[in-house]
Structure 1
């Protein structure tokens, strides 16, 4: 295979969801596709020329197996290989190695990393979407059944109030009316937004900065809000107010989880060839809201996006449910992982407009 043929073959991998890289005889990267950039959290510009040991430090057995494959011109594969990426992210992959040695050409290795976690993630996302849709349908049905008798109670209290001459007795009808209104507002909040997004070009970093400013004014001074933005992110199509509300709900939730002290990090990244549910997108904006608080109880983690589910006695359990609905309306999704000292809410938003 000549140099031109190799270049064509590499270009054919650009749209694959499998992470692929090419290594020269010194175990240095000569190519990495977008899925590989996403897996290893490094840009192609930075990765090209990098030693594999720098990208995957500590995996001596893998590096030795790759060298032997190149020396012996022999393919091999390893199944369900656990890796720690960038010293913290744990993944499980299948690794397939193919030597490419042609006459008058430098020998090289083609390495495929099939991310097994991706299939588990897609399945989890599908379940999350189905659960959210089912819960929304249930809540809307319940809301209809609740609001009708509430309207009747409020109307009857108003009629009774007109017939009463005692101010003391009217206090009771006022309580009935106010409580009926409060319950109606609560039901309306459970239903979430009732308007479709008003789509326009929005700068996600401007929204993040607005959220940071609002929350910093409310939070204790001992809570730090740090930024880790990717400045190359382009504008996206979305509803500025709805995205602001979704992010505000999540960041305020993080502040409440921290209490009086801690750090919140707002992080933005771009994901290439990324699947949300069953739909694959060329570009997805990933927003991480990270806090170093006590974490979410494992028994709550699977249901935190349900209405009325909260780990705080004073909480309503509506903020995250509303945020999920708002992001769903942008064809996106919110995920959460949590352990003590590291809770991450991840917002995934397709960059390109949905044409369906």
Structure 2
């Protein structure tokens, strides 16, 4: 442990920001109480431990820290993702060089920005998704109108053709028109829940599990961890079933042949959804141990036509989000290599 003069140590201990002092091998030599809270561990347990052994995954290149001693240059990053004990945190980081006695050390100040980022991101995504959905729905209507005429003309032409060989071409036109019609119907989708009934969320999840298991690769395991205390609430079961099916089917397709999908249910308290606070929500987590979501699509993941999967339409998550929003709920996603977690929040209202 580095001996920091008492006045400086008292100042550091009272800071709201997390402060770490690292030696040239990136071992933690000092940490203030805010830093202990951020890492979820006491100073006595993590002093002299390499910081890269505590942080499971980070968007920050660790070589930046290692090279600081040589270059003498500090840096600032206003958005760094950290994964500690399966918790994903978003922090603002500043790193500088400082001397404590004869030793040159790295002084890191980190400030957690999860809440501010989440609020601004929710508002931004809500506006962007509404605009994207209106655009897609407008395009879908424009496509749907001439599609019916195209299919009808192909059917009339088929009756006039003399040979079966020529009718194969009209059959292809009709088949592709039907495929496009189905795609457009999915884009338009239901905009309001139908008749709502009071049901238990686990009955819906079990039905989805039963559906996906019919075609589940043998190397993929589905694990369940349910909270039986979640009360029954009003829902449109078919819509929720479709939303869950889209998310779980995506996970299966990404895992391909091997992996684990966990379905966890809990109650969540004081949840903010679109600026409104709900006292109690049902929380459904769908977690897979696949490769994670690529960084370049994380911010637009729920937009229509956005996908990283070859052959994917990019509609599954967009439709799922729309169906959850119809139940006054929301979907959040946290992902890093080896862990992708979709959290669905549904208000429990009397």
Structure 1 and Structure 2 fold alike (TM over 0.5): yes
User: What is the CA-CA distance between 1:194 and the residue it aligns to?
Assistant: 5.0
User: What is the CA-CA distance between 1:239 and the residue it aligns to?
Assistant: 0.7
Q: CA contact under 8 A between 1:197 and 1:238: conserved in structure 2?
A: no
Say yes or no: does 1:58 pair with 2:55. no
- Alignment partner, residue 156 of structure 2: 159
String of CA shifts for 1:84-141, please: whole Å, max 9, x gaps: 9994425579xxxxxxxxxxxxxxxxxxxxx852232122122222222212111110
User: What is the CA-CA distance between 1:265 and the residue it aligns to?
Assistant: 0.8
Q: Distance in 2 between matches of 1:136 and 1:263?
A: 32
Please give the TM-score of this superposition, normalised by the length of structure 1.
0.67
Runs of 4+ in 1 over 6 A off after TM superposition: none
SS at match of 2:314: coil
User: What is the CA-CA distance between 1:310 and the residue it aligns to?
Assistant: 1.7
Say yes or no: does 1:322 pair with 2:306. no
SS at match of 1:144: helix
User: What is the CA-CA distance between 1:195 and the residue it aligns to?
Assistant: 5.0
Say yes or no: does 1:183 pair with 2:180. yes
Q: CA contact under 8 A between 1:123 and 1:277: conserved in structure 2?
A: no
Q: State how 1:110-149 maps to structure 2 within 5 Å.
A: 117-149=114-146
Q: Distance in 2 between matches of 1:194 and 1:273?
A: 27
Say yes or no: does 1:219 pair with 2:216. yes
Q: Distance in 2 between matches of 1:295 and 1:230?
A: 26
Q: What are the ranges of 5 or more consecutive residues in structure 2 without an aligned counterpart?
A: 1-35, 46-79, 92-111
- Alignment partner, residue 89 of structure 1: 87
Higher mean alpha-carbon deviation, 324-333 vs 126-135, is at: 126-135
Q: Distance in 2 between matches of 1:222 and 1:152?
A: 46
- Alignment partner, residue 261 of structure 1: 258
Q: State how 1:25-64 maps to structure 2 within 5 Å.
A: 57-59=41-43
Please give the TM-score of this superposition, normalised by the length of structure 2.
0.68
Q: What are the ranges of 5 or more consecutive residues in structure 1 without an aligned counterpart?
A: 1-51, 62-81, 94-114
Q: CA contact under 8 A between 1:197 and 1:329: conserved in structure 2?
A: no
SS at match of 2:247: helix
Q: CA contact under 8 A between 1:265 and 1:291: conserved in structure 2?
A: yes
Number of residue-to-residue matches in the alignment = 261
Higher mean alpha-carbon deviation, 216-225 vs 142-151, is at: 216-225
SS at match of 2:283: strand
Say yes or no: does 1:293 pair with 2:304. no
